[in-house]
Amino acid sequence: MEYMANFKDLIVWQKSISVAERVYKMTSLFPPHQKYSLVDQMQRAAVSIMSNIAEGSKRSKKECEHFLRFSHGSAAELESQILLAVRLEYMTSDQADLIMDDLNQITRMLYTMISSYRM
């Protein structure tokens, strides 16, 4: 079984935990009635990105690719939820852009990692 580097050393994981932290801080300002809907969904998606990277790092190459794909999907999920939050005026475009920039970097890194497993 082949393991990737310690997940905490991976830039993609470092960026993803920063995104999760930012999402938690940002969603704490959302209206209280969103606590068990959009807030919960956004927080779960953000945590899923970093968690699946971490779990995949301790798995076989094939399993790792699988978990990286989950992370990639969670990043897309979070992106769509952020777009909804902006449309509902729970966050500004500027606030969303800060998270989206990192999410775009994360998805590119995940795509590169996933592609490397196919070689």
Where exactly are the structural domains of the chain?
8-23+32-117
What pLDDT does 105 receive? 97
Go through 47-83 and write b for each residue having 16 or more CB atoms within 10 A of its CB, e for each that does not: bbbbbbbbbbbebeeeebbbbbbbbbbbbebbbebbe
Q: Which residues contact 50 (CB under 8 A, 6 or more apart)?
A: 13, 16, 17, 19, 20, 71
CA distance 7 to 62: 17
Mean pLDDT within 81-91:
97
* pLDDT class of 7 with cuts at 50, 70, 90: very high
Class of domain 8-23+32-117: mainly alpha
* pLDDT class of 1 with cuts at 50, 70, 90: very low
Q: Which residues contact 17 (CB under 8 A, 6 or more apart)?
A: 50
* pLDDT class of 2 with cuts at 50, 70, 90: very low
CA quadruple 84, 88, 91, 95: dihedral positive or negative? positive
Is the pTM higher than 0.75? The answer reads: yes
